[in-house]
Chains A and B, each alone.
Chain A
Amino acid sequence: MRRPRSSRDLRHARWQAVLAVAAIASAVALPVVLVSVGGGVAAHELSSLEDTGYQLVVSAAGVHGIEHAHLDAAKLRSLPNIQDAAPILSVPLDVFNQSGNVSPVLAEGVVPSQFVPTLGPTESGLFPLPLPLGDANDTVHYANGTYTGPAVYDVLLSSTYARSYHAHVGSTVVLSPTTNISLGRRYNVTGIFGTPLSLVQPSGAYAALLLLANLQLLTGYATGPHTAVPDGADTIEVVVAPSAADSPGALAAVAREVQAAFPSYTVTTLSSEAAQLQSADGVLTGFYLALSSVGLSIGLLFLALILVRRVERERRAIGIRRAIGVPGVSVAGSILENGAALAGAGGVAGVIVGWAVVQGLATWGSSTVQEAARLAEFSPAFLAELVAVVVVLSALASLAAVRAAWRVDLLEALR
């Protein structure tokens, strides 16, 4: 049986409302996902920065730009207000396990006694302390500028690598600068360490920690006993005395002094890195919102279209209301109210959908996406603002419908 027209009208009106809510919801879900995840990742990185035990980073252009790592670190320690300085060489290596499986890892060469003070409270908990690398000061093999001493072939592996390749304390691996195992050297695994999650910096998921001199030799930056070699590193992490570290002004003064002592290197404070990170986060958030505004505009245009369509379909209903005595302002108000209600419902639905999408990504996304999604931060203030903006903008979207309703000829509508 054919459904009566008014029944179809009712169903039609409901479907239109559902579609409008869905359009707004999908438009709102996008910024919810982007800003929540992006903000969460930035906040995590910021917190990681604040969690470090050092305050200054001395670096040079090029991966191994610091040519006298041991000496420069010692020179840094001699400056006023400097408590510790730890040179670090970061190089990708290939690791062959006992079964012959090869995997790339990020290797860091450190001087254990200098490296440990640069660890923040969280990082310290990830390492076996004291670091079981055999030569706390990296002096035996480095031997005052030469590589004549007996090398300690000990290595610490990250827990992620150890789990994947069944490495454990007491096992051995071959570290090689290339996939050619014959260029490598066998190391004893003397410890396993955890790795902090980082999504914007080189990840240490598969990582190895060994003595700086060993890594320099292994990667060719020291070419062997009795040769003139660059004592390479890429950064020196500097721990400032607490009296200077707690004051931004004093820290900046120390940074200037370090810069004056090492004019060819770049000196950055962690607070400036944090500011850069925050600035980058601000730019990204702006970009996310700009991107989302496209979706939101489409959603609001859709809402406008539905409201205009509804006015066209409801010309008679508008005429009836006006005939009863409902003033035009009230009819316009009810359209605005209707638009705001649909936008509000869409906004709230969008927040829920966005939240659900993030939970879905945290459960079923690829590993990096999962990690990023788990860091998502849902700021109630941001979400409330987002919904409020959508509701306010719905007034603009309703204007065309209000105009159409205002122009409805009462008598014609009742004919």
Chain B
Amino acid sequence: MNPDRSAPSIELARVSRTYGEGTAEEVRALRGIDLALVPGAFVSVEGPSGCGKTTLLNLLGLLDTPSRGEVRWDGSPVGLRTDRERSRLRLERVGFIFQRFYLLPTLTAEENVELPMRALRRPRAERRRRAAQLLAEVGLAERARAYPHQLSGGEEQRVAIARALANHPGLLLADEPTGELDSVNARAVLDLLVRVRADRGATLVLVTHNPEVASRAGRHLVLRDGSIVADRTGA
């Protein structure tokens, strides 16, 4: 059966996330968030350090579960799904792009891009073809055999984007993807994300401190102390 790769409609209903609940180190990362994302939206999330941006992304992408409240994908609560089912949803429908790239150091650029396809047991030839196509799309066709330590920061992030796109996900979650890049590379990466989102009709949620990035999003969220304090629409 072909996997469902469509962009999910996501709802967060009174979602809270508390780490170390009931301990001296208790941290309330999110407090009663209500949020609805329509498929194909481009949302930027902004806020000071520690305000819960990454936690929000983790909940949207099913990496984490809320302490209270409910996360719904296409109307169905994901909290009822098993860990294995959530892994499957991530694999088929979510593409993650992290601030620190998180490429596997022992794999080449090409192998890193193939990783999600391997997990879906795609045939080797198909994996190779798609990895080459994606690397060409992000301008790294010549660097396919390079290991991450042989790439610049901008190149690493482009490989990470190619990996995020490998399984045609409907939801792209980018956590400060330009945070560790110089302005030239940052702009190139941002242009790339905006382009692939437009090409594929995927939902893009992008955490950023960069006002320019935020200005290009269709919807702009501002978080403070675990709550959404501003929710603006219009690029």
Contacts and interface: CB of A to CB of B under 8 A. Distances in A.
Interface of A: 3-7, 9-10, 13, 316-317, 320-330, 410-411, 414
A323 B96 CA distance: 8
Interface of B: 58, 61, 63-64, 83-84, 87-92, 94, 96, 98, 102-106, 115-116, 119, 147-150, 163
A323 B83 CA distance: 12
Contact of B147 (A10, A322, A329, A411): A10
A7 B90 CA distance: 29
Contacts of A13: 106
B102 A316 contact: yes
Q: Which secondary structure dominates chain A's binding surface?
A: helix
B106 A325 contact: no
Given A324-B96, A324-B116, A410-B63, A9 B106 contact: yes
B89 A6 contact: no
Contacts of B83: 328
Contacts of B105: 5-7, 9-10, 317
A326 B104 CA distance: 13
Given A6-B149, A7-B149, A321 B90 contact: no
Contact of A325 (B58, B89, B102, B103): B89
Contacts of B88: 325, 327
Contacts of B104: 317, 320-321
A411 B58 contact: yes
B149 A325 contact: no
**Consensus secondary structure, chain B interface:** helix
A202 B161 CA distance: 77
B180 to A, nearest CB: 14
A326 B115 contact: yes
19 contacts: A3-B149, A5-B105, A6-B105, A6-B147, A7-B147, A10-B106, A10-B147, A13-B106, A320-B102, A320-B103, A321-B115, A323-B96, A325-B87, A325-B89, A325-B116, A326-B87, A328-B83, A330-B119, A414-B63
Most B Cβ at <10 Å: residue of A4, A317, A323: A323
A325 B63 CA distance: 9
A123 B54 CA distance: 87
Nearest to A7: B149
A329 B116 CA distance: 15
A149 B103 CA distance: 100
Contacts of A4: 149
B64 A411 contact: yes
Nearest to A4: B149
A414 B106 contact: no
Contact of A322 (B87, B106, B148, B163): B87
Nearest to A325: B91
> Which among B87, B106, B119, B150 has the greatest number of chain A C-beta atoms within 10 A?
B87
A327 B83 CA distance: 8
B119 A6 contact: no
A325 B119 contact: yes
Given A6-B105, A324-B90, A325-B89, A411 B63 contact: yes
B58 A327 contact: no
B134 to A, nearest CB: 14
A252 B87 CA distance: 73
Contact of A323 (B63, B89, B103, B147): B63
A322 to B, nearest CB: 7
B147 A325 contact: no
